[in-house]
Structure 1
Amino acid sequence: MSKKYEKLANEILAYIGGTANIDDVYHCQTRLRFKLKDESKANKEALEKLDGVAKVIINGGVFQVVIGPHVKSVFEEIEKNVEPKSGKTEKIEAKINEKKSILGSVVDFVTGAFQPIIPALSGAGMIKALLALLVVFNLISKTSQTYTILNFFADGVFYFLPILLAFTEAQKLKCNPILAVSVACIMLHPTWGALVAKKEAVNFFGVIPFTLTTYTSSVIPIILVVLVQSYVEKWLEKYIPEAVKLVFVPMLTFLIMGTLALSILGPIGSVLGNYLAVFFTFLSTNASWAPAVIIGTFLPIMVMFGIHNGVAPLGVMQMSNLGYDSIFGPGALCSNIAQGTAAFVVSLRTKDSKTKELATTAGITGLMGITEPALYGVNLPKKYPLIASMIGGGFGGLYAGLTHTHRFATGSSGLPAVLLYIGDNTMQFLYNIIIALVISCVVTAVLTYILSLKYEKINETIEETAEIKTEVKNSTITSPLKGKVVPLSEVKDEAFASEAMGKGIAIEPSEGKVVSPFNGKVVSLFPTKHAIGLLSDDGVEMLIHVGLNTVDLKGKYFEAHVKQDQNIIKGQTLLTFNLEKIREEGYVTQVPIIITNTHEYSEVVSNCSGDIDYSDELLALKI
């Protein structure tokens, strides 16, 4: 799925009042259609000023944002943030038929639990970095009260990490977050800590033994507990009478989950956590280079498939167990710096002004730890900078791994994150990560430059060829429908009437058939078959939109006789539709015929009026 329209989609979401203001969203051939909870929250003027938005129309309770031929790509980005209600039946069937991989399910679960707490972990990490700097430069001592206070400012997040995870995991599993947090509080209660410290056997009711284990700063125990609690809670909600549910569901949840947490689930999680700590220790001692090399090399691929969200928490777990992260942090930092460097080199090598501007901006954000603009806007489309950055990130990660470089707090993976490598009363790890980043930069820059000598020339040739192929010519277009000519200004839709989509003409059809007005190709065919985009051999880009708001019919009364990307000849039947049935449903049946590349012509005129047949001249286009 393309990332090209991500920025536009995010701006649209912001100006319509945010995702919380959306009741539903769908799209037709030319526009996004929002059903908003409160239209007064939408900023129509700001939307119309966006580069990529042609017009905004409010009609019949639907907030319409006219995009043009690229509406599907913008909608795909919108859909990532909003769950549309339209097409509910099809989506349910798709979900039933979809077989999600075990890995995909695990990644999705872990991501849902850890992502919301990243800001808290980052804030705590930066305080740790500040504290380390103050100690290294002898501004405070480790025995001072200031040190102690700053330390627990940062440690608070990690000490109560089970509570944060309980809340986010409960949200992910759709059980009560407050009850989940309350169970986590049982596990962290000072009285339980005191019982563990006494090292005397604890038996609940004298029968159920509780394993003496502390759960502060732990991860796996609470994940297991909330996972089981989600099923217990739903079972209680199902069988306890509504009148007493408010009292007995929480009470029984605490009794059941408190017992299970301290007797079975918590100890199991603790054992698994101990094994994980052994694994991390083994990696740090015997194969310290491996994680950093793998992450440094393959992080861009992980980002594309979302796998990085499942790997990053391993660093958090390692830090919770050992006090540092050598699994994810060093490799991620090397990879991100390599991505930004590759984009910068592209900005120096490309001759395309838009690419140069995008690559420069993406390079800066990449160095700051936000690589999506560089990855999706520059490196992935061009391929060669992505390959160079993966190699450069791998070499930097190799050095970081071989020197046992690790960070002492979690945070962003950009240049500011180098401060996270100050710890253990030494600057050694800071120096090593800087060297690793220099290696990543140099290797990436050299490889990107060398590859650009070949591939930028190829790209220039392709662009020149494309310009030749898309050269437009003077054209005469015959009518694709039979009926009565209607000036575009009289079409009962502001987006078409205002020529926001381009110049053209409209026809009130007398027959339910659309034929090809020229030789060319079908470039877009909407699934509901009410609209079709065509490209002629002479470079004419045309949109034929049968009726107004007929997207709401969802394909009813329409039939397509061609497929997308199919070559077509003049007079060939493209679409048929039941004209009478559409009118009976109350829809306006005017058919706008728009030249969507109007800007490439000096004139788009129509000298016809009254009745028109399929073979009659409809439009004359002059370059």
Structure 2
Amino acid sequence: MSKKYEQLAKLIADRVGGSENVSTLAHCQTRLRFVLFDNKKADKEGLKSLEGVANVIESGGQFQVVIGTHVEEVYEEVTKFVSPNLDEQLVPKDNRNVLNKLIDFISGTFSPVIPAISGAGMVKALLALLVLFDLVSNDSQTYYVINFMADSVFYFLPVFLAYSAATKLKCSPYLAVALAGILLHPNFSALVVAGDAVTVFGIPMRLVAYGTSVIPILLIVAVQRYIEGFFKKIIPNAVKIVFVPMFTIFITGLLALLIIGPIGSYAGEYLAMGFEFMQEYGAWIAPTLIGAFLPIMVMFGLHHGIAPLGVMQLTAFGYEGIFGPGAIVSNIAMGVAILMVSIRTKSKKSKQLASANGITALMGITEPGLYSIALPKKYPLIAAIIGGGIGGLYAGITHTVRYTTGTSGLPAIPLYIGEDIGNLINILIALVITAVITCVLAYFLSFKFEKNEEESIESEKKELILENTIIRNPIEGQVFPISEVKDEAFASEALGKGFAIEPSEGRVVAPFDGKVVTIFPSKHAIGLVSDTGVEVLIHVGINTVELNGKYFEAFVEAEQPIKKGQLLLTFDLEKIKEAGYVTQVPIVVTNTPQYSKFETLIEGQTQKEKAVFSVSV
């Protein structure tokens, strides 16, 4: 296995607070999803500053680290450094509101199942293409076999959901699967088919086909958690391994067949009636809202609470128009808007990012482009919201649906192939409308939002023609090797080559002529770029982000030009020491890969503005 992301994984593990602060860890298509015992122990700003981390979001009770499409590889490395703490006594009281708890539960239950559902959906899409091009007949054995291969995931969906729900609720996933097996057992299915009245201990049992159902098993596992937990507390350890599973299966199983399952089935039926009503009288609402605002939902993780509604509609009717149509037009809108940036921007870095992330968005994964391009530049997000909303409106008005689930990008188009070819034509029209409107809006908005062309060209020249640079001492104090900094991210040079200072005063001045790239809200760190192209991060203290700006004052702002020796920041050195923080100041060249040679010119006590570090191309 590649260790490409080992260093990044270690830094992520450290900055979320280590194993002792991690209750659970999972991942979706683009994010690491932590549930932490104490979010305040995580270095959120430190995580955001890592190369390879697009953003950090706290939503639905989860601490989400946005990575990108390679998240699974990063996850595998993170698990080497993080072992979730399963001691329930350490879990703090859950003060989240009901909505956040529900979103967290739904997200945590459905996210692990999505790959199986998507894979099965794409198999059905492939089968639809084979039929469309007359390569396979609807009444052939080949069609029959491939069809039940794909349908197996949907029929046994209660089993998949049982396992993931139990894992989320921290009860036995294997007992949960056993309970799901009761609902799908051939003997029970035979009773349902026969339709004769059945009683258990004199109690009539409602005969319901639970294959493809969703709500009943979620309710059953929720009850299992309490029944299993109760017997774990009262049964002696010596016989717990036998009697806890016995009582859990016996009692929960009877409750499932006689009470919980029927209640869940009634809820599912009413939900299906709601879906049917919406599809008949308000089919445009969901695709329009999701087409427009899916990027916002993604930012806050809310889409994971909505997408399962589409799965429920699909299992009830064989099609879904709640999430899929809106999601595909939104993702295409985002992809087109980002690709327009690659055409309009004069920045080489932005052009490269936009080209790669735009294509990724067209394939259905928008988060890398959303955080790296659309949000910083604003106009691609505006264009995508408007274009996606109008495309979603058309899809809704024409009652466009998809017949199975899968990705929400260009590869998902075959999911809309049904007996009526008009459905496929309508989604294609919706995508064309989306792409055209988004493209035109992004183009015209770019004139307002993109930087002046001449400035961009000059900046590009500086990016391409880097010069040897002398970095002067920005803080009076003791200069020492960065390898001795009491923070592994800096000491390991993972963030770049550089040097460090133990300050003797609380004033930071510009080490060269250039401009301010960024200044952190907590004012403890500032990013600069010299007129010769060297990008430098000055980080005052270790973990001082926790002070939230206390004891710091900034005298410049982002994008402001600076001159060598100009005052940038001040900080109360003694107060920071009294607060217990290490006051070392790492100074790193963040675009280290663009240079070949680095040399510390002087060590020991050094005054401000003395030449201390040399960077050579």
Query: Is the structural similarity TM-score above 0.5?
Result: yes
Moved more, 488-497 or 309-318: 488-497
Residue in 2 aligned with 1:268? Answer: 263
The change in CA–CA distance for 1:381 and 1:172 in structure 2 (over 3 A counts) is: same
Amino acid corresponding to residue 25 of structure 1 in structure 2? A
What secondary structure, in the 3-state scheme, does the structure 2 residue paired with 1:288 have? coil
What secondary structure, in the 3-state scheme, does the structure 2 residue paired with 1:121 have? helix
After TM superposition, give the deviation of residue 273 of structure 1 in Å: 0.5
Residue in 1 aligned with 2:33? Answer: none
What secondary structure, in the 3-state scheme, does the structure 2 residue paired with 1:576 have? helix
2:388 paired residue among 362, 385, 393: 393
CA contact (8 A) 2:346 2:456 kept: no
Residue in 1 aligned with 2:113? Answer: 117
Confirm whether residue 439 of structure 1 aligns to residue 428 of structure 2: no
After TM superposition, give the deviation of residue 578 of structure 1 in Å: 11
After TM superposition, give the deviation of residue 293 of structure 1 in Å: 1.1
After TM superposition, give the deviation of residue 329 of structure 1 in Å: 0.9
The change in CA–CA distance for 1:291 and 1:604 in structure 2 (over 3 A counts) is: same
CA contact (8 A) 2:50 2:495 kept: no
Residue in 1 aligned with 2:160? Answer: 164
2:279 paired residue among 274, 277, 284: 284
Cα distance in 2 for partners of 1:135, 1:75 equals 41
After TM superposition, give the deviation of residue 491 of structure 1 in Å: 6.0
1:339 paired residue among 324, 334, 341: 334
After TM superposition, give the deviation of residue 197 of structure 1 in Å: 2.6
CA contact (8 A) 2:291 2:327 kept: yes
Confirm whether residue 194 of structure 1 aligns to residue 194 of structure 2: no
After TM superposition, give the deviation of residue 160 of structure 1 in Å: 1.1
Cα distance in 1 for partners of 2:91, 2:242 equals 39
Written as runs of structure 1 = structure 2, the 5 A alignment for 1:205-604 is: 205-206=201-202, 208-424=203-419, 426-457=420-451, 477=473, 480-481=476-477, 488=481, 501-502=496-497, 513-516=504-507, 518=509, 543=538, 562-563=551-552, 565=554, 574-576=572-574, 594=587, 596=589
Provide Cα deviations, 1:178-222, integer angstroms capped at 9, x if missing partner. 10010111111121122223323222122x221122211111111
The change in CA–CA distance for 1:231 and 1:128 in structure 2 (over 3 A counts) is: same
After TM superposition, give the deviation of residue 459 of structure 1 in Å: 8.6
| Structure showing greater Rg | 1
Amino acid corresponding to residue 421 of structure 1 in structure 2? Y
Residue in 1 aligned with 2:36? Answer: none
Amino acid corresponding to residue 190 of structure 2 in structure 1? A
What secondary structure, in the 3-state scheme, does the structure 2 residue paired with 1:26 have? helix
Provide Cα deviations, 1:338-390, integer angstroms capped at 9, x if missing partner. 11111111111111111111111111111111111221121221111111111
CA contact (8 A) 2:468 2:614 kept: no
The change in CA–CA distance for 1:300 and 1:616 in structure 2 (over 3 A counts) is: closer
Residue in 2 aligned with 1:3? Answer: none
The change in CA–CA distance for 1:480 and 1:153 in structure 2 (over 3 A counts) is: same
CA contact (8 A) 1:288 1:404 kept: yes
Cα distance in 1 for partners of 2:151, 2:445 equals 47
Moved more, 144-153 or 295-304: 144-153
Written as runs of structure 1 = structure 2, the 5 A alignment for 1:126-205 is: 126-205=122-201
Moved more, 347-356 or 485-494: 485-494
Q: RMSD between aligned alpha carbons? A: 5.0
The change in CA–CA distance for 1:111 and 1:479 in structure 2 (over 3 A counts) is: closer
The change in CA–CA distance for 1:265 and 1:505 in structure 2 (over 3 A counts) is: closer
Residue in 2 aligned with 1:59? Answer: none
Cα distance in 2 for partners of 1:17, 1:595 equals 17
CA contact (8 A) 2:107 2:304 kept: yes
Provide Cα deviations, 1:538-592, integer angstroms capped at 9, x if missing partner. 999674777xxx87x999xx9x983263679699773138999x9xxxx9x9967
Amino acid corresponding to residue 119 of structure 1 in structure 2? P
Q: Aligned residues: percent identity? A: 43
Amino acid corresponding to residue 141 of structure 1 in structure 2? S
CA contact (8 A) 1:491 1:590 kept: no
Residue in 2 aligned with 1:43? Answer: none
The change in CA–CA distance for 1:515 and 1:244 in structure 2 (over 3 A counts) is: same
CA contact (8 A) 1:491 1:497 kept: no
Moved more, 368-377 or 217-226: 368-377
After TM superposition, give the deviation of residue 616 of structure 1 in Å: 8.4
The change in CA–CA distance for 1:256 and 1:598 in structure 2 (over 3 A counts) is: closer
Moved more, 70-79 or 302-311: 70-79
1:16 paired residue among 6, 18, 22: 6
What secondary structure, in the 3-state scheme, does the structure 2 residue paired with 1:437 have? helix
The change in CA–CA distance for 1:478 and 1:204 in structure 2 (over 3 A counts) is: closer
The change in CA–CA distance for 1:369 and 1:545 in structure 2 (over 3 A counts) is: closer
Cα distance in 2 for partners of 1:388, 1:396 equals 12
Confirm whether residue 25 of structure 1 aligns to residue 13 of structure 2: yes
CA contact (8 A) 2:539 2:587 kept: yes
Amino acid corresponding to residue 361 of structure 1 in structure 2? A
TM-score by length of 2: 0.73
Moved more, 98-107 or 317-326: 98-107
The change in CA–CA distance for 1:563 and 1:401 in structure 2 (over 3 A counts) is: same
Amino acid corresponding to residue 573 of structure 2 in structure 1? L
Cα distance in 2 for partners of 1:608, 1:23 equals 28
After TM superposition, give the deviation of residue 445 of structure 1 in Å: 0.7
Cα distance in 2 for partners of 1:136, 1:475 equals 66
Provide Cα deviations, 1:194-251, integer angstroms capped at 9, x if missing partner. 2223323222122x22112221111111111111111111111111111111111111
The change in CA–CA distance for 1:298 and 1:260 in structure 2 (over 3 A counts) is: same
Cα distance in 2 for partners of 1:413, 1:401 equals 16
After TM superposition, give the deviation of residue 298 of structure 1 in Å: 1.1
Cα distance in 2 for partners of 1:388, 1:400 equals 18
Cα distance in 1 for partners of 2:214, 2:176 equals 14
What secondary structure, in the 3-state scheme, does the structure 2 residue paired with 1:100 have? coil
The change in CA–CA distance for 1:490 and 1:564 in structure 2 (over 3 A counts) is: same
Matched pairs, number: 545
Amino acid corresponding to residue 440 of structure 1 in structure 2? T
Cα distance in 1 for partners of 2:454, 2:434 equals 28
After TM superposition, give the deviation of residue 327 of structure 1 in Å: 0.9
CA contact (8 A) 2:325 2:400 kept: yes
The change in CA–CA distance for 1:195 and 1:222 in structure 2 (over 3 A counts) is: same
Cα distance in 1 for partners of 2:18, 2:360 equals 31
After TM superposition, give the deviation of residue 68 of structure 1 in Å: 12
After TM superposition, give the deviation of residue 323 of structure 1 in Å: 0.5
CA contact (8 A) 1:289 1:402 kept: yes
Cα distance in 2 for partners of 1:324, 1:500 equals 49
Provide Cα deviations, 1:125-150, integer angstroms capped at 9, x if missing partner. 12222332333344333332222222
The change in CA–CA distance for 1:401 and 1:272 in structure 2 (over 3 A counts) is: same
CA contact (8 A) 2:479 2:603 kept: no
TM-score by length of 1: 0.73
The change in CA–CA distance for 1:412 and 1:620 in structure 2 (over 3 A counts) is: closer
The change in CA–CA distance for 1:239 and 1:554 in structure 2 (over 3 A counts) is: farther
Residue in 1 aligned with 2:42? Answer: none
The change in CA–CA distance for 1:429 and 1:475 in structure 2 (over 3 A counts) is: closer
Provide Cα deviations, 1:40-85, integer angstroms capped at 9, x if missing partner. xxxxxxxxxxxxxxxxxxxxxxxxxxx9994499597697366998
Amino acid corresponding to residue 445 of structure 1 in structure 2? C
What secondary structure, in the 3-state scheme, does the structure 1 residue paired with 2:297 have? helix
CA contact (8 A) 1:332 1:413 kept: yes
CA contact (8 A) 2:162 2:176 kept: yes
Amino acid corresponding to residue 435 of structure 2 in structure 1? C
Residue in 1 aligned with 2:29? Answer: none
The change in CA–CA distance for 1:101 and 1:466 in structure 2 (over 3 A counts) is: farther
What secondary structure, in the 3-state scheme, does the structure 1 residue paired with 2:573 have? strand
